[in-house]
Amino acid sequence: MLHVSIYLERIGDQCVTIVKLTKLASDLQSKPELIEGLAEMGERSAEMSRVRAIS
């Protein structure tokens, strides 16, 4: 359980970073490659969470 909590804490820290960067970039013009990159990061995070939950 301790091992799982470490991963959850890292995920939470990364979410905070993403939110901060999103707020900073909200006034900038959006770029399709950036949106695609964020979507890919989200998909990988979801996949990692599922794999960790099964393990």
- Global pTM value: 0.54
How many residues in the chain?
55
- Residues with Cβ within 8 Å of residue 52, at least 6 apart in sequence: 4, 7
Domain that holds residue 6: 2-54
Is residue 55's pLDDT more than 60? no
What's the number of domains the chain is made of? 1
In tens, the pLDDT along 18-35 reads: 889 888 888 888 788 888
Task: Note whether 11 and 45 are within 8 A (CB).
Answer: yes
Interatomic CA distance for residues 16 and 9, integer angstroms: 11
